[in-house]
């Protein structure tokens, strides 16, 4: 369909969103890039640099311009490497838990079980819990070494209490985040499983297909698309995990890139350094996005 | 018809499923139970499950100490406000991409999604400074704008997939009937897409309600929503578990209920229509 | 008045040419059927007339006025879609009234017109139902009702009967023809079903790959097809084609023989000379039981094509 007229109107209709999103993306990004080359600290007398016009900036170039030193310091900061590893660790392990665990659990729930709807409600619940609450509840009520529920269990089993946040802060963060995102994967994969063609199942039964082959050749291809989507959505959110680290105070050891940039900027007031860090995070995210979008683009077309 | 499943197999699976589901749900259940305990019972070892002195006292204390309703009101205003303004520009956009697509429409949609891949930290510093210089820090208006932009791509995508399911012949029929594009949107498309728009609103409210990066970074007091309210309980001084549980329960209960109602549409919405 | 003229109408999507260039004059009150195999451009041509697609070049005139760039609503046409395209959230009454509301017709007049249309279409009892509560045939009638209340210059039908079962299709065919008789309004009707075309049309437009192959009355097309394509497309079972020496004997590139013009005679084949008088036969079955020695013969060929015509239709 679509005539010239409606297409012209369509362009007008889509314009506000496109312009808004474009500005939303480009203005902060441009400013971040600009800041990342400045010696700009909120506690520093050079503070004024940020308010200069481009012309003034040119005159004051020597005073304000930091060259690539912000990047140099950020990239050589041992905290950067640690933060990047933590970012990847969180994304990687939570994705693994979600996909593998989610698939298995969805397969289980797809069986003829009693009260599936209630089970479903219980399983999806953590996804609706706001990250700050999840973090606090786990930290204080479950993982506390003295009166936490988990330590009560481990002590009852004679294993002694585990001080999660002192000894295993990364594991603790991964557990909390996975608890929120594993249900999401389960719900989506279960929905996908339930749309599996009943006749195909019966045909496979008639052919005497063993369960494992059936899973491998029939179920898994059917789940390819939903799994792709889960990977996309979860990666978007997992790369930006922040509240769980901020609230539990594990930033020092389990802090990821977003947390490090926050630390540079709002805790140390080093705007230049934080901006350089932000740009590094953007570049890394874009590398991930590039591959993801290609994968998704193909999968969503069909 | 599926083959009758042997009852032993069925009950085994049921038992395992219920056990695992209970495990997953337990932290929430435990929080809710603890919110009705006295502080003494809350910290008791071994833990007390159901046999303790039930009390509502914690809720009152929490409201008194940190003014829950103020934060909750902010959460409601931010979630609904950002959703409303996002819909206002998203509906025409989604209409345009679903029914008057051009050569670049697919690319445009992918580009919109890719803006979600942009890490917020890349924009945190400038946005913080802009907010500071324009006096937007800790204001509802400022945060509504941020949340709106944050979820706009998802809203457009969701609406787009719902609109795509409406046969274009119906809109053409309206056009033959002499409806202008505006009337076509108001009288035909929007009423037909109401279920889709409703689930879009629902999902967006949930996402906005739970958003914790920007709300923590850009608010302190006046416009602070519930994530900030909860974060204020993270400081160790004066932390009492029963109160923390009551606060947590109040923060998550509204959205949990909403989420349970919306879970079916949610799958569809969050997977851009790829899973139904 | 509903005179519709197409002047060298051309439609292309990028490099894909759908309609290379069509000229057609439709007179007021005519029932014209566009017929052709799927993908021949018949629906596109109808949508071009409706204004739902842009012309690439050429012009469309309605009553002498060039409407090539007018919006669909400005052309005074009404369309019945293949899927009916009823508004699912509106009652039957509102579906029918929608076009009038858009034209700001006073409410009393709308009510009157809707009531009248409903009576004509046997829909009076269903006015307050939603489309999903109706059967296929009833939905179809609502779609027609929506078209007739607007009293258009011409009706456009896009394969309107293809979603109905066979029995209902015959009824609706008769109903639409009756409607045409009563209203006397121009109707353009698109179908891939040649039986519909042959029984309903005043004039048939046969389309093939976007080209108008032939325009004429049903019998004209049947008896005097101007191209191999039309000869092969119209008529069921299909016309038989013989090329080569036999055809050359008739000074033609190909000769076509309708199955009903084939007679079976005993004896040996006699080199292809016509040898018997025509007789109408029950078609088709004979092909199955024809003895080996039977000779196919015919009176004069039903149609003979010169080499140039045959090439044109390729």
In this structure, are C29 and C51 located in the same domain?
Answer: yes
* In chain A, residues 82-141 whose CB comes closer than 8 Å to chain B: 105, 108-109, 111-116, 119-138, 140-141
A85, part of any domain:
yes
Q: Are B131 and B142 in contact (CB under 8 A)?
A: yes
Q: Which residues of B touch A109 (CB under 8 A)?
A: 17
In this structure, are B16 and B109 located in the same domain?
Answer: no
In this structure, are A174 and A293 located in the same domain?
Answer: yes
What dihedral do alpha carbons A271, A272, A278, A280 form, nearest 10°?
A: -160
The model carries a pTM of 0.80
In this structure, are C64 and C201 located in the same domain?
Answer: yes
Which of C171, C196, C223 delimits the end of a domain? C223
CATH number at residue C40: 3.40.50.300
- Report how far residue B171's alpha carbon sits from residue B161's, in angstroms, rounded to the nearest whole number: 16
User: What are the two backbone dihedrals, phi and then psi, of residue C290, each rounded to the nearest 5 degrees?
Assistant: -70, 125
In this structure, are B19 and B141 located in the same domain?
Answer: no
C155, part of any domain:
yes
Spatial CA neighbour of A140 closest among C293, B32, B59, B245: B245
In this structure, are A20 and A156 located in the same domain?
Answer: no
C254, part of any domain:
yes
In this structure, are B78 and B128 located in the same domain?
Answer: yes
- pLDDT for res B117: 75
B268, part of any domain:
no
Cα nearest neighbour of B170 on chain C: C85
Beta strands C186-191 and C31-35: pairing type? parallel
Number of folded domains that form chain B: 2
Interface contact flag, B270 A184, Cβ < 8 Å: yes
In this structure, are B142 and B170 located in the same domain?
Answer: yes
B270, part of any domain:
no
In this structure, are C165 and C257 located in the same domain?
Answer: no
Separation in Å, CA of B185 to nearest CA in chain A: 11
Spatial CA neighbour of C221 closest among C20, C18, C36: C36
Positions in chain A short of pLDDT 50: 1, 302
SS percent in chain A: helix, strand, coil, step 5: 80, 0, 20
Interface contact flag, A141 B16, Cβ < 8 Å: no
Neighbours of chain B (3+ CB pairs under 8 A): A, C
In this structure, are A41 and A178 located in the same domain?
Answer: no
Interface contact flag, C54 A1, Cβ < 8 Å: no
Q: Are B52 and B64 in contact (CB under 8 A)?
A: no
In this structure, are A212 and A235 located in the same domain?
Answer: yes
Which of A67, A86, A101 delimits the end of a domain? A67
* In chain C, residues 55-84 whose CB comes closer than 8 Å to chain A: 71
Q: Are C28 and C36 in contact (CB under 8 A)?
A: no
In this structure, are C56 and C15 located in the same domain?
Answer: yes
In this structure, are B51 and B77 located in the same domain?
Answer: no
When scoring A5, A7, A8, A10 by the number of chain C Cβ atoms within 10 A, the one with the most, hence best to mutate, is: A5
Which of A6, A41, A67 delimits the end of a domain? A67
In this structure, are B167 and B73 located in the same domain?
Answer: yes
Cα nearest neighbour of C13 on chain B: B103
In this structure, are C82 and C216 located in the same domain?
Answer: yes
In this structure, are B181 and B107 located in the same domain?
Answer: yes
- Report how far residue C266's alpha carbon sits from residue C279's, in angstroms, rounded to the nearest whole number: 15
Interchain CB contacts (distance < 8 Å): A and C: 9
* Secondary structure element (H or E) that encloses residue C256, with its range: strand C254-257
In this structure, are A163 and A197 located in the same domain?
Answer: yes
A1, part of any domain:
no
A72, part of any domain:
no
Q: Which residues of A touch B121 (CB under 8 A)?
A: 240, 257-258, 261-262, 274, 277-278, 281
A187, part of any domain:
yes
C230, part of any domain:
no
In this structure, are B208 and B132 located in the same domain?
Answer: yes
* In chain B, residues 126-185 whose CB comes closer than 8 Å to chain C: 167, 169-170, 172-180, 183
Interface contact flag, A179 B270, Cβ < 8 Å: no
Q: How would residue B57 be classed by pLDDT, with cut points 50, 70 and 90?
A: confident
| Domain ranges, residue C253 | 237-312
Cα nearest neighbour of C103 on chain B: B178
- pLDDT for res B235: 63
In this structure, are C299 and C175 located in the same domain?
Answer: no
C232, part of any domain:
no
DSSP reduced 3-state for A188: helix
- pLDDT for res B63: 86
Spatial CA neighbour of B113 closest among A174, C92, A294, C260: A294
Separation in Å, CA of A59 to nearest CA in chain B: 23
A23, part of any domain:
yes
Per-residue model confidence as pLDDT tens digits over B227-256: 888 887 766 555 578 888 998 999 999 999
- Give, in degrees to the nearest 5, the angle at Cα A104 between A100 and A110: 145
Q: Tell me if chain B has a CB within 8 Å of the CB of A273.
A: no
B90, part of any domain:
yes
Cα nearest neighbour of A4 on chain C: C54
In this structure, are C119 and C21 located in the same domain?
Answer: yes
In this structure, are A83 and A33 located in the same domain?
Answer: no
In this structure, are A272 and A147 located in the same domain?
Answer: yes
In this structure, are A133 and A50 located in the same domain?
Answer: no
- pLDDT for res C281: 38
Q: Which residues of C touch A6 (CB under 8 A)?
A: none
pLDDT tens, position by position, for chain C (314 residues)? 789 999 999 998 888 888 998 999 999 999 999 999 888 889 999 999 998 888 889 999 999 899 988 888 888 899 999 988 999 999 999 999 999 998 889 999 999 999 999 998 989 999 999 999 999 889 999 999 999 998 999 999 999 998 888 888 888 999 999 999 999 999 999 999 888 999 999 999 999 998 999 999 999 999 888 888 998 888 888 888 888 777 777 777 888 888 888 777 766 655 555 544 444 433 333 333 333 333 444 444 555 544 444 433 33
What are the residues of chain A with a beta carbon less than 8 Å away from any beta carbon of chain C? 1, 3-5
Separation in Å, CA of A40 to nearest CA in chain B: 12
| Domain ranges, residue B28 | 7-58
Separation in Å, CA of A295 to nearest CA in chain C: 28
Q: In what order do the strands lie in the sheet with C303-305?
A: C240-243, C254-257, C303-305
A11, part of any domain:
no
Other Cβ atoms closer than 10 A to C51: 25
In this structure, are C15 and C147 located in the same domain?
Answer: yes
Spatial CA neighbour of C269 closest among C288, C300, C296: C296
A173, part of any domain:
yes
Neighbours of chain C (3+ CB pairs under 8 A): A, B
In this structure, are B197 and B94 located in the same domain?
Answer: yes
> Which bin fits C69, alpha (ψ -120 to 50), beta or left (φ > 0)?
alpha
C42, part of any domain:
yes
Q: Which residues of C touch A1 (CB under 8 A)?
A: 47, 52-53
- pLDDT for res C289: 32
CATH number at residue A113: 1.10.3720.10
In this structure, are A24 and A158 located in the same domain?
Answer: no
> In sequence order, what E strands does C14-102 have?
16-26, 31-35, 57-62, 65-66, 77-80
- pLDDT for res B50: 79
Checking if the pLDDT of B83 tops 90, the result is yes
Helix axes B105-117, A4-36, angle to 10 degrees: 30
When scoring C99, C104, C132, C188 by the number of chain B Cβ atoms within 10 A, the one with the most, hence best to mutate, is: C99
Number of folded domains that form chain C: 2
Spatial CA neighbour of C251 closest among C199, C202, C307: C307
Q: Which residues of C touch A3 (CB under 8 A)?
A: 51-54
DSSP reduced 3-state for C78: strand
In this structure, are C301 and C197 located in the same domain?
Answer: no
- Give, in degrees to the nearest 5, the angle at Cα A199 between A197 and A200: 70
Separation in Å, CA of C84 to nearest CA in chain A: 16
Q: Residue C217 contacts by C-beta under 8 Å, 6 or more apart in sequence? A: C201, C202, C203, C204
Cα nearest neighbour of C51 on chain B: B176
In this structure, are B35 and B132 located in the same domain?
Answer: no
Spatial CA neighbour of B35 closest among B50, B57, B67: B57
Cα nearest neighbour of B133 on chain A: A51
In this structure, are B102 and B75 located in the same domain?
Answer: yes
* In chain B, residues 182-221 whose CB comes closer than 8 Å to chain C: 183, 187-188, 191-192, 194
In this structure, are A115 and A161 located in the same domain?
Answer: yes
C228, part of any domain:
no
Interface contact flag, A108 B129, Cβ < 8 Å: no
Number of folded domains that form chain A: 2
Which of C223, C245, C265 delimits the end of a domain? C223
In this structure, are C92 and C156 located in the same domain?
Answer: yes
In this structure, are C135 and C105 located in the same domain?
Answer: yes
Q: Tell me if chain A has a CB within 8 Å of the CB of C43.
A: no
In this structure, are A109 and A34 located in the same domain?
Answer: no
Interface contact flag, A1 C53, Cβ < 8 Å: yes
A54, part of any domain:
yes
> Tokens at residue B153, please?
């791509």
DSSP reduced 3-state for A275: helix
- pLDDT for res A49: 65
pLDDT mean over B64-88: 92
In this structure, are B15 and B105 located in the same domain?
Answer: no
B243, part of any domain:
no
* Secondary structure element (H or E) that encloses residue B242, with its range: helix B241-270
| Domain ranges, residue A123 | 78-301
B227, part of any domain:
yes
- CA distances in angstroms from B94 to A29, A197, A277, B156, listed in the order given: 26, 31, 35, 6
C31, part of any domain:
yes
- The residue assigned the tokens 């008088």 is C277
């Amino acid at each position: 369909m679509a005539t010239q007229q409606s297409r012209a109107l369509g362009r007008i209709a889509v314009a506000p969103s496109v312009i808004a999103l474009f500005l939303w993306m480009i203005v902060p990004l441009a400013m971040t890039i600009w800041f990342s080359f400045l010696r700009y600290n909120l506690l520093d007398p050079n503070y004024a640099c940020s308010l200069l016009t481009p012309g003034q900036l040119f005159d004051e170039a020597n005073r304000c311009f930091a060259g690539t030193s912000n990047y140099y310091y950020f990239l050589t900061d041992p905290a950067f490497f640690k933060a990047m590893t933590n970012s990847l660790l969180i994304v990687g392990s939570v994705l693994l838990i979600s996909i593998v665990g989610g698939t298995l659990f969805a397969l289980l729930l797809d069986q003829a079980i009693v009260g599936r709807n209630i089970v479903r409600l219980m399983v999806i619940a953590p996804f609706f819990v706001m990250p700050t609450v999840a973090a606090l509840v786990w930290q204080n009520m479950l993982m506390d070494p003295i009166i936490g529920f988990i330590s009560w269990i481990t002590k009852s089993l004679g294993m002694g209490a585990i001080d999660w946040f002192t000894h295993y802060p990364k594991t603790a963060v991964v557990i909390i985040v996975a608890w929120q995102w594993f249900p999401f994967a389960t719900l989506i994969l279960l929905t996908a499983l339930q749309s599996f063609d009943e006749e195909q199942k019966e045909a496979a039964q008639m052919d005497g297909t063993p369960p494992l082959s059936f899973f491998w050749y029939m179920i898994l291809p059917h789940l390819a698309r939903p799994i792709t989507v889960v990977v996309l959505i979860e990666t978007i959110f997992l790369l930006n995990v922040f509240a769980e680290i901020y609230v539990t105070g594990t930033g020092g050891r389990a802090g990821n890139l977003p947390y490090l940039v926050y630390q540079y900027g709002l805790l140390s007031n080093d705007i230049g350094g934080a901006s350089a860090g932000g740009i590094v995070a953007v570049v890394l995210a874009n590398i991930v996005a590039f591959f993801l979008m290609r994968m998704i683009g193909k999968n969503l077309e069909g | 018809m599926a083959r009758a499943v042997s009852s032993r197999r069925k009950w085994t699976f049921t038992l395992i499923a219920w056990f695992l589901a209970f495990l997953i749900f337990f932290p929430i259940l435990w929080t809710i139970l603890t919110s009705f305990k006295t502080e003494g019972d809350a910290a008791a070892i071994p833990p007390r499950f159901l046999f303790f002195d039930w009390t509502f006292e914690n809720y009152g204390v929490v409201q008194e100490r940190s003014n829950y309703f103020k934060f909750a009101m902010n959460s409601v205003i931010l979630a609904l406000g950002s959703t409303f303004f996002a819909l206002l520009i998203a509906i025409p956009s989604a209409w345009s991409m679903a029914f008057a697509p051009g050569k670049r429409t697919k690319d445009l949609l992918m580009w919109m999604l890719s803006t979600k891949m942009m890490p917020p930290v890349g924009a945190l510093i400038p946005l913080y400074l802009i907010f500071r210089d324009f006096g937007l820090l800790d204001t509802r208006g400022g945060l509504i704008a941020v949340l709106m932009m944050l979820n706009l791509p998802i809203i457009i995508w969701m609406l787009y997939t719902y609109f795509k399911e409406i046969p274009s012949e119906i809109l053409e029929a309206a056009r033959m009937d002499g409806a202008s594009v505006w009337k076509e949107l108001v009288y035909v498309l929007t009423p037909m897409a109401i279920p889709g728009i409703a689930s879009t609103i629902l999902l967006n409210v949930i996402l906005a309600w739970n958003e914790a990066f920007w709300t923590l970074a850009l608010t302190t007091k006046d416009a602070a929503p519930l994530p900030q309210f909860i974060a204020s309980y993270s400081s160790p001084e004066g932390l009492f578990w029963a109160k923390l549980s009551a606060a947590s329960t109040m923060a998550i209960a509204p959205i949990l209920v909403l989420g349970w109602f919306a879970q079916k549409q949610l799958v569809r919405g969050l997977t851009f229509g790829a899973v139904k | 008045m509903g005179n519709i003229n197409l002047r060298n109408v051309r439609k292309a999507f990028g490099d894909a040419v759908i309609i290379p260039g069509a000229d057609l004059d439709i007179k007021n009150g005519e029932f014209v059927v566009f017929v052709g195999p799927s993908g021949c451009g018949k629906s596109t041509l109808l949508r071009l007339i409706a204004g739902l697609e842009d012309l690439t070049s050429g012009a469309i005139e309605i009553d002498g006025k060039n409407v090539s760039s007018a919006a669909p609503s400005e052309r005074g046409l009404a369309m019945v879609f293949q899927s009916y395209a009823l508004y699912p959230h509106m009652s039957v009454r509102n579906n029918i009234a929608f076009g009038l509301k858009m034209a700001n017709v006073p409410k009393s007049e709308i009510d009157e017109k809707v009531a009248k249309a409903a009576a004509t279409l046997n829909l009076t009892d269903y006015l307050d139902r939603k489309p999903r509560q109706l059967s296929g045939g009833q939905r179809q009638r609502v779609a027609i009702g929506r078209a007739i209340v607007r009293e258009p210059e011409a009706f456009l039908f896009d394969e309107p009967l293809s979603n109905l079962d066979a029995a209902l299709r015959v009824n609706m065919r008769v109903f639409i023809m009756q409607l045409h008789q009563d209203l006397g309004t121009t109707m353009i009707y698109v179908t891939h079903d040649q039986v519909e075309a042959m029984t309903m049309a005043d004039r048939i437009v046969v389309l093939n790959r976007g080209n108008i192959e032939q325009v004429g009355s049903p019998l004209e097309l049947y008896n005097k097809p101007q191209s191999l394509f039309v000869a092969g497309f119209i008529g069921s079972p299909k016309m038989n084609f013989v090329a080569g020496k036999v055809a050359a004997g008739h000074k033609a590139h190909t000769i076509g023989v309708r199955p009903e013009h084939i007679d079976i005679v005993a004896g040996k084949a006699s080199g292809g000379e016509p040898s018997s008088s025509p007789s109408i036969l029950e078609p088709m079955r004979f092909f199955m039981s024809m003895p080996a020695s039977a000779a196919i013969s015919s009176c004069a060929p039903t149609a003979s094509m010169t080499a140039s015509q045959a090439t044109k239709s390729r």
